[in-house]
Amino acid sequence: MKWLERTLRSYETAKKSNHRLNHTKEWLTHTMDLLSERLIKGAYDQEWIDLYLQEALKKGIKEVGIVEHLYRFKETRNYFEGNMRLDGSDIGQLQSKWLNQVMTENMEEFLVAIEKAKKRWQNYGVTLRVGIEADYFEGAEGELHQLLGPIECDFINGSIHFIDGWGFDNPQTQAHFQEYVLEDLYVKFFSVVQKGIESGLFDYMSHLDNIKVFNHIPKVESLLPFYHIIAECLIQHNVATEVNSGLYYRFPVKEKCPGRTFMSILASHGVPFTVSSDAHFPEDLGAYVDQSIRDLLNSGVTEIATFNQRKRIMKPLQISVLN
């Protein structure tokens, strides 16, 4: 139901619908027409993509990266079924249902749709880049390499959403945190992050500390060694990272990834950064990115990473440069 509500809000905002008609028969008919049209045209409809363009123009954003999660694509089913916990347990059954709900799209359709939109966006002075966010599973590097190798896009960002096959950022499975000693869980998490960086599969590593999503956080003193290890690993393997706003405005922790202490350590090591609003809906494009840029500037970062055809391009960092 949340998806329906947010989709409707995006359309109503863009089309400037008359909200005074809410909950009338006319409003309900109009709502059903909008949502039916969205479903019929599909996830990568050009009109929907251009709602992000409208937001970029409204907010003065000159460069945007549109990213899709690897788990959305039906071609990747074997990869996820082989690495997620999908057994008969409560978590396994829930995650199996979730995977079937989200894995509905075709990768080529996504890439073609964004490439088509690039030329149109450029006519409005907005550069559009396309990326794939790929879940990393320890020990499955070869399989992931085969999936990612043929993809032609501007960047591939790695992410960790699963520990021991458990999707730790799913609100419906958060009780599973109680089955771990928190400090041990963080050791395992950062070990997987490090191996993801070392895999050489990614242009940047996303939300480096998203394990904090539901506010299960050890004392910061115990985390500092991991922050330095991850920073050194990123530099050694020439992998960038991001400041991601998503956890700040969409999850209980209400803190960006990475947190400010972690960001400061990464910056002190010279790790390249990009910025992400993690916008799952058009109106969230650019959310809190100005704030992220200010935090980076205050940490001594002077350049921002953008990407084109898997090549990293560093640009001067200023408030008006949003990627």
322 assigned to some structural domain: no
Tokens of 143: 């399989």
21 assigned to some structural domain: yes
**How does pLDDT run across 1-24, given as a tens digit for each residue?**
566 667 766 766 666 555 556 677
CA atoms of 153 and 132, how far apart (whole Å)? 8
Are residues 25 and 132 located together in one domain of the fold? Answer: no
Q: 127: domain CATH number?
A: 3.20.20.140
Question: Are the beta carbons of 273 and 243 closer than 8 angstroms?
Answer: yes
Number of domains in the chain: 2
Bridge partners of 159, per DSSP, are 135
Are residues 147 and 24 located together in one domain of the fold? Answer: no
Are residues 155 and 205 located together in one domain of the fold? Answer: yes
Are residues 178 and 266 located together in one domain of the fold? Answer: yes
pLDDT, residue 78, reads 98
Are residues 80 and 34 located together in one domain of the fold? Answer: no
Question: 306, 250, 322, 305: which is closest to 55 by C-alpha?
Answer: 322
Tokens of 59: 């907010």
Question: Are the beta carbons of 255 and 220 closer than 8 angstroms?
Answer: no
Are residues 171 and 206 located together in one domain of the fold? Answer: yes
The domain of 10 spans: 1-41
H or E segment and range at residue 262:
helix 260-268
CA atoms of 129 and 166, how far apart (whole Å)? 31
Question: Are the beta carbons of 310 and 153 closer than 8 angstroms?
Answer: yes
Question: 152, 155, 154, 162: which is closest to 79 by C-alpha?
Answer: 162
215 assigned to some structural domain: yes
Are residues 283 and 268 located together in one domain of the fold? Answer: yes
Indicate whether this model's pTM tops 0.85: yes
323 assigned to some structural domain: no
Are residues 22 and 91 located together in one domain of the fold? Answer: no
**How does pLDDT run across 257-307, given as a tens digit for each residue?**
999 999 999 999 999 999 999 999 999 999 999 999 999 999 999 999 999
Question: Could you give the angle at which helices 260-268 and 289-298 cross, rounded to 10 degrees?
Answer: 50
Are residues 108 and 17 located together in one domain of the fold? Answer: no
**How does pLDDT run across 105-116, given as a tens digit for each residue?**
999 999 999 999
Question: Are the beta carbons of 134 and 199 closer than 8 angstroms?
Answer: no
**How does pLDDT run across 126-146, given as a tens digit for each residue?**
999 999 999 999 999 999 999
321 assigned to some structural domain: no
Single-letter amino acid code for the residue at 260: R
Name the band, by pLDDT with cuts 50, 70 and 90, for residue 25.
confident
Single-letter amino acid code for the residue at 112: V
**How does pLDDT run across 27-50, given as a tens digit for each residue?**
677 677 767 676 777 789 999 999
Bridge-based pairing of strands 240-244 and 273-276 is parallel
Percent of the chain with pLDDT over 70: 89
Are residues 11 and 85 located together in one domain of the fold? Answer: no
Are residues 15 and 69 located together in one domain of the fold? Answer: no
Are residues 32 and 51 located together in one domain of the fold? Answer: no
Bridge partners of 67, per DSSP, are 131
